[in-house]
Amino acid sequence: MPPPMGPAQGQSSPAVSQAEVRRFSAAVTQIKPLNEQIHHDLGAKSVSAAQRETLMKQYGAKVQAVLSAHHLTVQDYGALMNKAQTDPAFAQQVEAAIKAHP
C-alpha cells in the first residue's frame, strides 16, 4: 500500500502576493547576468581549482546581496524558481513583471 500523500504533496502551492512576484522578478533579472558570467568564467580551461573556489565564493556573495536587496532568502528564491518552472500561470506572472520593470 502506498504511503498517504500529505496535503501539499502533488497539490498546488500557496498563492504568491504581487509584491513577492515583483521582488522575485527583480531578483531574477539581476541574477541572470551573474549566472551567465559565472558559467563563462568557470568554463575557461585556464581556471585553477583555487580560482574556481574564489569565483564561486564571489558569485555566492553577489547573489546573496541581490536576494537581500529584494528581501528574499535563498530558500524563498529556490521555492519561487521551482514554482515558476512548474506552474505556468505563475511563470506568466513573473514574465509580465519582468517586462513591466526591466
For 94, the grid coordinates are 513573473
Dist CA 76 CA 50 (whole Å) = 30
In a domain, 4, yes or no: no
In a domain, 7, yes or no: no
How many C-beta neighbours within 10 Å does residue 16 have? 18
In a domain, 3, yes or no: no
pLDDT, one tens digit per residue, over 69-82 is 999 999 999 999 99
Dist CA 21 CA 65 (whole Å) = 18
Distance of CA 91 to the CA centre of its chain: 12
In a domain, 12, yes or no: no
Dist CA 90 CA 95 (whole Å) = 9
Whole-structure pTM value:
0.79
Residue carrying the nine cell digits 513583471: 97
Range of the domain at 84: 18-100
In a domain, 1, yes or no: no
pLDDT, one tens digit per residue, over 30-52 is 999 999 999 999 998 899 999 99
State the pLDDT at residue 52: 94
In a domain, 9, yes or no: no
In a domain, 6, yes or no: no
Please say whether the beta carbons of 87 and 47 come within 8 A. Answer: no
For 24, the grid coordinates are 522575485
12 has a pLDDT exceeding 70? no
Domain total of the chain: 1
